[in-house]
């Protein structure tokens, strides 16, 4: 049972490794762009931005692997494991319910917090360059959900659940997850989504199930955004 818990030391190690790796890798990329590929970088700012976003998540993945002992640690400590097909299906049904509730809550609160602006539209509308699309789509649809689930529902929840009641841990993780996106107008829908994914993680003891929800959500958002943009919306 102890191997399923996340210690505060491992969580701090994860955050420290991520900060160090991100500063190193992103710094080298930015420096290389300025010194050796300045003409390309100026002409392809969106492509460079997509590469930096991908690198930020890749360094998080590297930090997760280093801090938790490789793939086995992600499975055993961060609970990225298959439980059952039924759990995956139920998780996706919970995602649909959360999508509906999040939309209703956001609509109800929009007079107070303002109309929500889709961050996916803002991101994907930067460029239709093949390199940009090839980098940003798999990052948003797969890499980001994978890393964020291991960070929030794996490491953070795993640590909190060892010190607080599960219900409190679920609310805290959902709040941190929503706040970390730095999108105040989208906080309600992100909070509801965070609640849903963290509840699924807690009930099934699996971050793979919450990852299925997160990847589906992001893929749905990307597909809907490109459909809208292709029609000139």
What would the pLDDT profile of 121-174 be if each residue is shown by its tens digit? 888 888 899 999 999 999 999 999 999 999 999 999 999 999 999 999 999 999
pLDDT of residue 200: 98
Average pLDDT, the chain: 93
Give me the phi and psi of 232, to 5 degrees please. 80, 20
pLDDT of residue 1: 38
pTM: 0.93
Q: Report the distance separating Cα 6 and Cα 164, nearest Å.
A: 13
pLDDT of residue 4: 60
At residue 196 the predicted structure's pLDDT band, cuts being 50, 70 and 90, is very high
Q: Report the distance separating Cα 116 and Cα 187, nearest Å.
A: 9
Q: Report the distance separating Cα 201 and Cα 167, nearest Å.
A: 12
pLDDT of residue 160: 97
Q: Convert the pLDDT of each residue in 13-36 to its tens digit.
A: 999 999 999 999 999 999 999 889
pLDDT of residue 5: 79
CA dist list (Å): 183 to 45, 55, 164 = 23, 21, 27
Q: In this structure, are residues 76 and 65 in contact, taking their beta carbons and an 8 Å threshold?
A: no
Please tell me which residue, 113 or 108, carries the higher pLDDT value.
108
pLDDT of residue 2: 42
Crossing angle (nearest 10°) for helices 166-180 and 187-204: 140
Q: Convert the pLDDT of each residue in 49-103 to its tens digit.
A: 999 999 999 999 999 999 999 999 999 999 999 999 999 999 999 999 999 999 9
pLDDT of residue 189: 93
pLDDT tops 70 at residue 3? no
pLDDT of residue 118: 77
pLDDT tops 50 at residue 7? yes
pLDDT of residue 88: 98
Percentage of the chain modeled with pLDDT above 90: 78
Q: Report the distance separating Cα 138 and Cα 132, nearest Å.
A: 11
């Amino acid at each position: 049972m102890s191997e399923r818990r996340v210690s505060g030391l491992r969580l701090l190690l994860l955050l420290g490794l991520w900060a160090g790796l991100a500063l190193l890798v992103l710094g080298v990329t930015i420096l290389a762009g300025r010194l050796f590929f300045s003409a390309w970088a100026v002409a392809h700012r969106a492509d460079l931005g997509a590469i930096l976003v991908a690198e930020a998540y890749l360094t998080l993945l590297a930090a997760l692997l280093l801090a938790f002992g490789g793939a086995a640690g992600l499975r055993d400590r961060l609970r990225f494991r298959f439980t059952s097909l039924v759990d995956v299906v139920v998780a996706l049904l919970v995602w649909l319910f959360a999508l509906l509730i999040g939309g209703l809550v956001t609509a109800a609160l929009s007079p107070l917090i303002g109309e929500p602006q889709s961050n996916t539209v803002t991101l994907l509308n930067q460029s239709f360059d093949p390199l940009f699309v090839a980098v940003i789509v798999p990052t948003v649809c797969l890499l980001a959900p994978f890393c964020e689930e291991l960070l929030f529902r794996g490491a953070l929840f795993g640590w909190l659940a060892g010190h607080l009641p599960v219900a409190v841990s679920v609310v805290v993780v959902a709040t941190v997850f929503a706040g970390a996106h730095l999108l105040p107008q989208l906080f309600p829908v992100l909070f509801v989504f965070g609640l849903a994914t963290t509840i699924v993680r807690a009930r099934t003891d699996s971050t793979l199930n919450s990852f299925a929800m997160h990847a589906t959500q992001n893929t749905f958002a990307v597909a809907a955004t490109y459909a809208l943009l292709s029609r000139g919306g």
